[in-house]
């Protein structure tokens, strides 16, 4: 079950608890330099309140999405089978020690 984290005219962010992991889902409706700054600031604020990392799922072949994840600070963790029966790249964002 997804939990709404932030609703904005430009983007919507949800959390989903999958076993003992928190997965973040982000739907970007509009994107420009100002929205990028807002997204990065919101993510930094969120991570400052967390002790556990965030995960997100990337479907291989979508280079624009991969570059977006890396720009947001996510790093490739593993290529793993998912509930849809396909393998997907799992990215992680963790607070620095």
Q: Where residue 16 sits, what CATH number does that domain have? A: 3.40.630.30
Looking at residue 87, its pLDDT comes to 84
Range of the domain at 59: 2-93
pLDDT at residue 96 tops 80: no
Q: Does residue 69 sit in helix, strand or coil?
A: helix
pLDDT tens digits, 54-77: 999 987 778 888 999 999 999 999
For residue 1, CA distances in Å to 14, 24, 26, 76 come to 10, 12, 15, 24
Number of domains the chain contains: 1
- Residue 97: its pLDDT value, please? 58
**Do 89 and 58 meet the contact criterion of CB atoms below 8 Å apart?**
yes
Nearest-5° Cα angle at 96, 90 to 97: 125
More confident call, 96 vs 78: 78
């Amino acid at each position: 079950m997804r939990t709404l984290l932030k609703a904005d005219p430009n983007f919507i962010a949800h959390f989903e608890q999958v076993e003992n992991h928190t997965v973040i889902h982000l739907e970007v409706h509009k994107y420009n330099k100002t929205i990028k700054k807002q997204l990065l600031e919101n993510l930094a604020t969120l991570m400052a309140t967390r002790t556990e990392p965030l995960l997100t799922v990337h479907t291989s072949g979508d280079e624009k999405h991969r570059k977006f994840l890396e720009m947001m600070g996510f790093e490739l963790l593993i290529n793993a089978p998912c509930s849809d029966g396909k393998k997907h790249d799992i990215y992680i964002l963790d607070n620095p020690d």
